[in-house]
Amino acid sequence: MSAGLPLSYSLVLSAVLFTIGVAGVLVRRNALVIFMSIELMLNAANLAFVAFARQMRSVDGQILVFFVMTVAAAEVAVGLAIIVNLFRLRETVFVDEVNLLKG
Amino acid sequence: MTSAWLWAIPALPLAAVALNLLIGGRLGRRGIAWLSCGAVGASFLLALRAVVLLAALPQSQRVLSETAWAWIHVGDFSANVSFLLDPLSAVMILVVTGVGFLIHVYSTGYMAHDPSFRRFFLYLNLFMFAMLTLVLADNFLLMFVGWEGVGLCSYLLIGFWYERPAAAEAGKKAFVVNRIGDFGFILGMFVLFAFTRSLNFRDVFAAAPQAFASAPEAITLATLLLFLGATGKSAQIPLYVWLPDAMEGPTPVSALIHAATMVTAGVYMVARCHVLYQLAPASLMVVAVVGAATALMAATIGLAQNDIKRVLAYSTVSQLGYMFMACGVGAFSAGIFHLMTHAFFKALLFLGAGSVIHALSDEQDLRKMGGLAHRLPWTHATVLIATLAIAGVPPLAGFFSKDEILSSAFASGHIGVWAVGLTGAVLTAFYMFRLYILCFRGPSRLSHEAEHHLHESPPSMIVPLVALAFLSIVGGWVNLPFPAGAQAFERWLAPVFEGGPPLPARAPLSPGVEWILIELSIGAALLGIGLAFRLYLRKPEAATALATRWSRLRELLVHKYWVDEFYDAGVVRPLAAIAGWLWRFWDETIVDGAVNAVSYAFEGASAVLRLFQTGFVGTYALFLVLGVAALLLHVLRH
Amino acid sequence: MIYVFAALAATLLTSALLVVLHRNPVTSALFLVLAFCSLGGIYLLLGAEFVGLVQVIVYAGAIMVLFLFVIMYLNLQHDTESGVPTALRRGLGWIMGAVLLAEGLALMGRRWQPGPASEAPAYLQGNTQAVGQALYTRYLFPFEITSMVLLVAMVGVIVIARGRGAARLGGAEEES
């Protein structure tokens, strides 16, 4: 760990990763893949946090990353439970085949 | 200076109404009878006291005034609930409360078996309140309140037995026709206010000569409009058509409202506003002509009616015409005099007819009566007295008042009016004695049912008859020219009727001419009576022969000159058609359409908005991202 | 240094793209694991050793395992889908992503210049120790709350996953 990386490199990387996540959410119809794209977005945010923590020489950003990861884990668990339930009910995980809440 | 308690005179019947509403159910028939008759009786005593107080004042200052409540006060306009007692309203309140009391007592007997006894007295007391307010008011607005109130009570009482369609229709007809007159009254008030800036009697009458000097047509208009109201309330041409139908109501109602009190409101109003009418000679002429025409027309219709109450109804219309004739020729006190005597004998006639109807188990057709003279002695005696009175036979009351009217007409040069009045007198005597003979004399044509149940009426009904008979005999004596040219009644009313522009001078009649006129009046009465006896008692075949020869004329009379049919086709149907059109076009299409359009608009809008709720998570995610992109764009711009 | 970063970044982006593009969900999951590992490496480069290791252990090791477990359990088919509506939807998705990226970069470009290369932070103790100290002193309350979050998540998962529960499974077994 020597003279470092320009902050902007990390940020640009984070932005691109986030965009790929967004595209994934909008493009795919498999609920599990959509979920994975959401994880990508979360990780992009984490990367930004870490980059800034390094920039500002404080460890607070990394603490936040810690918390984000914990919550992401909980979220994944609950989300997968829901998807499993949905599969049991509708025999499908494709989100464009489920529109019971249509107005 | 003791207070006259004028406010209590209308307030007592109103209190009786309130008590009846609140606790009437627990009072029983006797309780209600005591309550209502007591309230009216107390009003009569208070009225008597007030008049005595009034009489104690010197003649030129006989006015008592009392304000109960400041009602309307806007800028410089005010109309209060305040009462005015002068000789004119004194006469009116005594007649209203006195005759009203007798009729209340009579009703306790007549309506004794009616299931809606309590409601009857409720309405009757309410009527007394309204009528007394009308008569005691000191401004047009309060008078109008009473005017409307008596109209309402008339509707309620005519349609008292509302389950009978004929009664309900008659009530409706009375109210609607009256309303047309009321419209005229209101417009008249508007014109008066526009020119004099006040609705108070004293102010208006004082200001009128000045205020209308520049626009004499306006005062003519105002008085004609007010007179339209009077034709409605007092059943003159063209708004008399409700009165005969009003006979569907109970007989005491016909006696009180449609003989003695409510229908006289128009006459009272014209007399009260005599200053205004004297300022508009054209209106006065109209009043006289309408009165004369109505008197004659109604008398002719009365010749051909077979229902005892219808005859009396047309007789009332006719006699009211006489009162307006008197006002029209400027003899206002003569008109009021006739109002008073007419109240006595017409109420008596109606109550007597009620007694007969009651005795015959609700038979009203004259063709099914006859020979009742000895079987209903009290009823017969009192009705005979009333019939003689109305025919104008001296020394009973009707003679004096009717003769007063006729000689005033002659003296003021209205010979045509006098002639019509004289003819009417002959007809009046004729048809009234026709009624008397068909009912009480001759062979009995009763049905078996009626024969079986025939009985004289109870004392509660007979005593008022006797009282009214007494009044019908002596009522005219208040205006006798002796002792020493007394004419007490006319002098009592004189301070009210002086003032205002002078009428065309009445050449005082020489005693010779006066006596000739009196003899002509008596002669007319005897002629009518004689003809009636001849046709209906001595030679009934002559009557039937006459009827066949003049059958077309008879048909015309029986059908009341087809006036009702004419009104129905010319006024009622077109209005109903317009109302129907308005309902279909305006109400259903436009108004309902507008309301529905609003709801359709919302439905449409929400149908569009609903498209956003696809139910697909992907769509929602897309909108989310779109929103974020828009926000970022916004941040970028600034 | 920069080359290591470039390599790791390239791996990260490629595997992320493949996650999104590949038809087979299992393959997508595996590429996601690769993405996480490369991200962990980047964390190490940025001097966040603790976070980097936790990333690999928790994300790649636990979460993705759970994902794969569910994918296998559901026995899914490939995502077959074609047609114009599909193409439209997909196109729209990519466009939106591109728009977002452009905006983000524009924001960064305008507001802010590439900062100075930062020194390695001078932790006297070392990264893990520093994180631990901060976590148990200044961030103690959020730490405890997070444990509550995990507890709630556990309970929630059990309740949801049971669903109509035994009855449904029983019925399904009778049918099959």
Judged by a CB distance cut-off of 8 A, whether residue C146 touches chain A is: yes
Look at residue B344 and tell me whether its pLDDT is greater than 60: yes
> Hey, what are A100's tokens?
């019971």
Instruction: Please give the residue range of the domain that contains residue A42.
Output: 30-92
Residue B195 clears pLDDT 80, i.e. is over it = yes
Give me the half-sphere count of Cα atoms (radius 13 Å) on the Cβ side of residue B504: 14
Q: How confident is the model at residue C174 (pLDDT cuts 50, 70, 90)?
A: very low
Rounded CA separation B524/B423 (Å): 8
Which residues in chain C are contacts of B631 at CB distance < 8 A? none
C-facing residues of A in 62-91 (CB < 8 A) are 62-63, 65-67, 69-78, 80-85, 87-89
Q: What is the mean pLDDT of residues B429-447?
A: 87
Interstrand relation of B77-85 and B64-74 (parallel, antiparallel or unpaired):
antiparallel
Q: Which residue in C has a C-alpha nearest to residue A8's C-alpha?
A: C114
Find out whether C49 and A54 touch, Cβ atoms under 8 Å.
Answer: no
Mutant choice from C20, C90, C100 vs B, greatest count of B C-beta within 10 A: C100
Residue A100 — pLDDT band, cuts 50, 70, 90?
Answer: confident
Q: What is the pLDDT of residue C117?
A: 57
| CA C25 distance to own-chain centroid | 15
For residue B236, the number of C-alpha atoms closer than 13 Å in the C-beta half-sphere is: 28
Residues above pLDDT 90, as percent of chain C: 43
Window 25-64 of A: residues touching B by CB (8 A cutoff) are: 25-26, 29
CATH code, domain carrying A73: 1.10.287.3510
Q: Tens digits of per-residue pLDDT, B546-569? A: 777 778 788 888 888 888 888 888
Residue with the bigger pLDDT between C83 and B389: it is B389
pLDDT in tens, B26-41: 888 889 999 999 999 9
User: What value, to the nearest 5°, has the Cα angle with vertex B128 and ends B124 and B133?
Assistant: 150
Residues 6+ apart with CB under 8 A from B334: B326, B401, B404, B405, B408, B490
Residue A102 lies in a domain: no
The yes-or-no verdict on residue C83 having pLDDT over 70 is no
- Chain B: partners with 3+ C-beta pairs within 8 Å: A, C
Residues of B in contact with C92 (CB under 8 A): 622
CB count in 10 Å sphere of residue B48: 15
Average pLDDT over residues A58-82: 92
Q: Which one of B612, B613, B616 has the shortest CB-CB distance to A95?
A: B616
Which residues between 23 and 42 in chain A have a beta carbon less than 8 angstroms from any beta carbon of chain C? 23-30, 32-33, 35-37, 39-40
Q: Convert the pLDDT of each residue in B33-69 to its tens digit.
A: 999 999 999 999 999 999 998 888 887 778 888 888 8
Residue B483 has pLDDT above 70, yes or no: no
Would you call B76 helix, strand, or coil by DSSP?
coil
Q: What number is the average pLDDT over the span B464-484?
A: 82
Name the average pLDDT for chain B.
88
Q: Write out the DSSP string of B404-444.
A: HHHHHHHHTT-HHHHHHHHHHHHHHHHHHHHHHHHHHSSS-
CA B114, chain centre distance (Å): 25
Q: Does A86 touch chain B (CB under 8 A)?
A: no
pLDDT > 80? residue A12: yes
Alpha-carbon distance A5 to nearest alpha carbon in chain B (angstroms): 27
Q: Which chains touch C (3 or more CB pairs under 8 A)?
A: A, B
- Per domain, the residue ranges of chain C are 1-77, 127-167
How far is Cα A27 from Cα A7, in angstroms, rounded to an integer?
A: 30
Q: How many CB pairs under 8 A join A and C?
A: 231
Question: Is residue A68 included in any domain, yes or no?
Answer: yes
Close Cβ partners of C97 (under 8 Å, ≥ 6 residues apart): A19, A20, A22, A23, A26
How confident is the model over B347-387, as pLDDT tens digits? 999 999 999 988 888 888 888 888 888 888 888 999 999 99
Average pLDDT taken over every residue of chain C? 82
CB-CB: which of B615, B621, B625 is closest to A99? B615
More confident residue, B43 or B456: B43
DSSP letter at B562 equals G
Note whether B610 contacts A103, CB cutoff 8 Å. Answer: yes
Above 60 in pLDDT, residue B20?
yes
Smallest Cβ–Cβ distance between C92 and the set B622, B632, B633 belongs to B622
- Residue range B287-311, pLDDT digits in tens: 999 999 999 999 999 888 889 999 9
Does residue A48 lie in a domain region? yes
Give the mean pLDDT of B109-133: 93
Q: Is the pLDDT of residue B417 over 50?
A: yes
- Does C163 reach chain A within 8 Å, measured CB to CB? yes
B613 to A98: CB separation less than 8 angstroms, yes or no: no
In a domain, A21, yes or no: no
Measured between CA atoms, the residue of chain C closest to residue B628 is C100
Per-residue DSSP letters for chain C? -HHHHHHHHHHHHHHHHHHHH-S-HHHHHHHHHHHHHHHHHHHHHTT-HHHHHHIIIIIIIIIHHHHHHHHHHHTPPP----SHHHHHHHHHHHHHHHHHHHHHHHHHHHH----PPPPPP--SS-HHHHHHHHHHHTTHHHHHHHHHHHHHHHHHHHHHHHTTTHHHHHHHHHH-
Two tokens at A62?
């990394």
**Nearest Cα to Cα of residue B479 among B468, B497, B469, B491:** B491
Residue B314: which pLDDT band, with cuts at 50, 70 and 90? very high
pTM over 0.90? The answer is: no
If DSSP codes are grouped into helix, strand and coil, which group holds residue B65? strand
Among A76, A33, A68, CA closest to C43? A68
Residues of chain C contacting B628 with CB distance shorter than 8 Å: 100
Q: Is the residue at A55 inside a domain?
A: yes
Under a CB-based contact definition with an 8 Å cutoff, are residues C17 and A40 in contact? no
Does A60 sit within 8 Å of C48, measured CB to CB? no
Asked if pLDDT for residue B449 goes beyond 80, the answer is no
CATH architecture, domain C1-77: Up-down Bundle (1.20)
Name the H helices within B413-559.
Answer: 415-440, 448-453, 459-474, 488-497, 511-533, 540-549, 551-558
- Contact between A54 and C131 using a beta-carbon 8 Å cutoff: no
Number of helices (H), then strands (E), belonging to chain B: the values are 28, 2
* C156 at interface of B, judged by CB pairs closer than 8 A: no
CB B615 to CB A103 under 8 A?
yes
Total count of domains within chain A: 1
Other C-beta atoms within 10 Å of C166: how many?
9
The first and second tokens of residue C153, run together, are 């998540």
CA-based Rg of chain C, rounded to a whole angstrom? Answer: 22
Q: Which of B578, B12, B114, B541 is nearest to B362 (CA)?
A: B114
Taking the CA atoms of A18, A21, A26 and A32 in sequence, report the sign of the dihedral they define: negative
Which residues of chain B are at the C interface, by a Cβ-Cβ cutoff of 8 Å?
618, 622, 625-626, 628-629, 632-633, 635-636
Q: What is the pLDDT of residue B506?
A: 65
- The residues with which A30 forms a beta bridge, in sequence order, are A94
Using a CB-CB cut-off of 8 Å, the residues of chain C touching B623 are: none
Confidence of residue C38 (pLDDT cuts 50, 70, 90): very high
Q: Which residue from A minimizes the CA distance to B621?
A: A26
Write down the pLDDT at residue B421. 92
User: Does the pLDDT of residue B505 top 80, yes or no?
Assistant: no
Which residues in chain C touch residue B625, judged by CB atoms under 8 angstroms apart? 96, 100
Cβ-based contacts of A101 with chain B (< 8 Å): 613, 615
What is the 3-state secondary structure of B356-371?
HHHHCCCCCEHHHCCC
CA distance B633 to chain C (A): 7
Question: Residue B622: its chain A contacts at CB < 8 A?
Answer: 26
Q: What are phi and psi of B489, to 5 degrees?
A: -65, -45
Q: Which residues of A touch B612 (CB under 8 A)?
A: 103
